[in-house]
Structure formats: structure tokens, C-alpha cells
Amino acid sequence: MMQRRTALSLALAAGLAPHLAQAQAWRPTRPVRLVVPFAPGGSNDIVGRIIAEAAGNILGQPVVVENRAGAGSVIGAEHVARSPADGYTVLINSAHASVPALVARVPYDTINDFVGIAVAGFSPHVLAINPRTQATSAAELIALLRANPGRLNFASAGIGSGVHLAGEIFRGISNTQFEMVHYRGGGPGVAALVSGEAQFGTPTMASSLGQVRGGGLRALAVASSQRSPALPNVPSATEAGIPGFIFEEFFPMLAPTGTPAPIVAALGVAFQTAIQQSAPRLNELAGVVPRAGYETPEQVMNLVREGAKTYTDVLRAAGVRPE
């Protein structure tokens, strides 16, 4: 683990070096807003708050998390797209690339209205159930769903959210029917699972980790080909017999397009350094693992662009159309 963190630090340092001189030309003179387009308690909120403290120390001004929930992240993302391009408004949104695949009329351009700042990390979703749901494995859950078509509730984090997308992927590969219930973010969705209002879901690692560890939820699989270090006792999707259920969320951090290059560089250095410094907490508290290779605005936006295409292709193949 130490070797991996050292390698990540060296890679990030090498990537950031060309931007340091340019970044030093701008320093904020008031707090920077980090907009989370979901309710408190979800993965973006948790990850954003972990990074915000360290980023504020680096910038010399507080980074204040502001929750603007609604429409599966569209309301908060639109707010950032329409905000002044002055460096004082940044978005963190793991649903950013999936929204065009699920939302028919997005009121902004996912790519051209934003500039890349950083990628906070990557994390698989979790196939989880309320402990009172009569299933102890993914196979048993699928059997239960097939025996009761449309009768079980799925807890989504909102239309266009990563949880919604992961749920649609699970629906397609499992050939099951259930009621998709959209909540106003990952936190409310997990709360519905814990209370039994919803019977199962595919929450993010960050929003469900505490409940899984504490027994409030039962995790049947992680949506990856390998087990997660954050939940080492939970089988991978491959081990659980659902190898097609692979869904890893990532957390792009974006500013409004038109933000001057020196400001973008300064924000990039601050947030990328904060991510590097916060890597142990991100992994322990949110199951999120930072990766090198996303040090420039172009690299960040290429990841978003590739994600949008992948999500659209997967959902169209499954017969899902934008709502």
C-alpha cells in the first residue's frame, strides 16, 4: 500500500510540475464554493467534504461545500455552468457523464460548458439489500425478483445518477423487473434501504460503506471484477455470478468554461494535491481510490467524454432511452 501511495504521489507531482508556475499567478481572496449536486450523505458529499478541507488549506481560503440537489444532479450542474467563470465555483459530480444517457433534455452541454480541474478518484458501486429482504446472495436476489416481478423497490439516487445507471445495468443483465424509486441523492436512497422502504439498490461505496460495515445493509457484491479493499469480505460481481455487473463511478471536478487558464491551473494544483493528501481517508471512509493520469483539463474532460459514450452505449444496448 505504501509503495502504491508513493508511486501515486510521484506521478501526480510529475504531472503537476508544469502547472505550478502558472498556478502561482492566482490566489483566491474569498471562499471557493464546491457545489455537490446531491443531498448530504451521498458519495459526492462525502468525497467533496474530505477534499475541501485540504484544498482550503492549500488555497489559503475556505472551500465551502454547497449542496444543490435535484433532477439527478442536473440542477446543481446547471448552476455551476451558469456561474461566473472566476474560479470561485467548482462542481464535483460523479453523475456528470451519465446524465446525457438518461435525461432527455439536459439544459447545459456536458462537455463544452465545463473545464476539467481534477478527478477525485474511482469506486465501484455495491449491490446491497435491506437485511430483512429474503436473499443472502446475488443469485437468491435475482430469483426473488423473478418470482415477484415489479413488487420490490429499488432505491435510486435520482434520475441520471450513477445509482440509477447501475440499477439499469443490473436490470438488463439479470433480466428482472422492479420498481425504480428515485430519491434526492445517495444519502436519502441509502436511508430508504436501511428503513426497508426500498428492498435493494446499487448504492455507491461511499454512501453505503458505513451501513454495510455496521450491519444496516447487507452487501451481496461489489460491481467490479475484483474485490474492494474497503469491503474485502464482499464478493466481486464475477465471484457472485453476475460478471456483467461492472460499474465504477468516478468523481470529476469541473469549473465553468471560460475560466482563465491561470485560475484553472491554480485550482488544479490545489485540488489534485488535496486529493493526494487525502488518499488514505478517501479509501477508508468512501472506498474511493485516486489514480494518476488526470492532471490536465484535457485529461479530465476526455474521461468525462469517454464515460458519456460508454454509458450511452450500454444503456441503448439494454433498451433504455432518456426520460
Q: What is the DSSP string of 217-258?
A: SEEEEESSSS-BTTBTTSPBTTTTT-TT---EEEEEEEEETT
CB 107 within 8 A of CB 76: no
pLDDT digits (tens, 9 = 90+) for 215-245: 999 999 999 999 998 999 999 999 999 999 9
Does the structure show a pLDDT above 50 at 312?
A: yes
Per-residue model confidence (pLDDT) at position 2: 41
Cell numbers describing residue 294: 488526470
Collapsing DSSP to helix, strand or coil, 180 comes out as: strand
In the 8-state DSSP scheme, what is residue 289? B
Q: Which residues contact 318 (CB under 8 A, 6 or more apart)?
A: 168, 169, 171, 172
d(CA 87, CA 234): 41
d(CA 252, CA 95): 9
DSSP strand pairing (179-182 vs 153-156) = parallel
d(CA 273, CA 13): 8
Cell numbers describing residue 255: 469549473
**If phi over 0 gives left and psi between -120 and 50 gives alpha, with beta otherwise, what is residue 61?**
beta
pLDDT digits (tens, 9 = 90+) for 44-94: 999 999 999 999 999 999 999 999 998 889 999 999 999 999 999 999 999
d(CA 265, CA 231): 35
Quick one: what percent of the chain has pLDDT higher than 70? 92
pLDDT band at residue 16, thresholds of 50, 70 and 90? low
pLDDT digits (tens, 9 = 90+) for 142-173: 999 999 999 999 999 988 788 988 999 999 99
In the 8-state DSSP scheme, what is residue 114? E
d(CA 177, CA 127): 16
Per-residue model confidence (pLDDT) at position 321: 81
Going 247 to 166 to 296 to 288, the CA torsion angle's sign is: negative
From residue 235, alpha-carbon distances to 60, 135, 227 in Å are 43, 15, 6
Per-residue model confidence (pLDDT) at position 1: 45
d(CA 61, CA 55): 9
Strand partners, 253: 92, 118
Q: What mean pLDDT value characterizes the chain?
A: 91
Quick one: what percent of the chain has pLDDT higher than 90? 78
Does the structure show a pLDDT above 50 at 252?
A: yes
Average pLDDT, integer, range 270-293: 95
Does the structure show a pLDDT above 90 at 104?
A: no
d(CA 80, CA 33): 10
Element (H, E) at 58: helix 43-59
